[in-house]
């Protein structure tokens, strides 16, 4: 097992400022580093497929939405938790590759949708299988019960955070 740099940082702070409780760093700093590490380990299949950061999120959200695999920019924004401006940039890239198209609502000609093409569906289906296999591989250090416990704890932590504007 490799050295724990977070524990070393916490110990240094404890030595320099014994009046402070620096124990929250043991969780938050580890989470930050872990997210960055996981992102770097999970990104290669998407990069190999020519997808930029966040492009797969758009494809996956559309695929998860079910047939006809179409959502408005606002729905995508809420699903992926990014701005509509970020959605526009991602959709532009994906449309240029023929993975999505912009369509007009049959019910309301003012309504616009982003829709997966058959090529987009095929690529998304292939990549989600690879992505899940990578995630499973990265979690092998925890048994099934530990993974379930961690998922529960992370859900509880996320639910306990105050609103952003608080």
Sequential pLDDT tens for the chain (166 residues):
567 899 999 999 999 999 999 999 999 999 999 999 999 999 999 999 999 889 999 999 999 999 999 999 889 999 998 888 889 899 999 999 999 999 876 766 667 899 999 999 999 999 999 999 999 999 999 999 999 999 999 999 999 999 876 5
Domains and CATH numbers, the chain: 41-138 (1.10.10.10)
What pLDDT is recorded for position 85? 85
* End-to-end Cα, the chain, rounded Å: 39
Q: Where are the strands (E) in 13-147, listed by range? A: 70-71, 100-104, 112-116
* pTM of the predicted model as reported, rounded to 2 decimal places: 0.83
């Amino acid at each position: 097992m490799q050295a724990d740099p977070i524990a070393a940082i916490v110990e240094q702070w404890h030595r320099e400022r014994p009046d402070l409780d620096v124990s929250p760093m043991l969780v938050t700093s580890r989470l930050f580093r872990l997210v960055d590490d996981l992102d770097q380990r999970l990104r290669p299949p998407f990069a190999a497929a020519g997808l930029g950061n966040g492009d797969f999120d758009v494809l996956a959200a559309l695929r998860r939405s079910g047939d006809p695999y179409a959502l408005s920019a606002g729905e995508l924004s809420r699903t992926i938790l990014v701005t509509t401006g970020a959605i526009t940039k991602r959709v532009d890239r994906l449309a240029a590759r023929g993975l999505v198209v912009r369509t007009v609502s049959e019910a309301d000609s003012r309504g616009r949708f982003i829709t997966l093409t058959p090529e987009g569906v095929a690529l998304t289906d292939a990549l989600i299988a690879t992505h899940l296999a990578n995630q499973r591989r990265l979690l092998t250090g925890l048994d099934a019960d530990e993974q379930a416990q961690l998922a529960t704890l992370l859900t509880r932590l996320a639910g306990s955070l105050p609103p952003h504007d608080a």
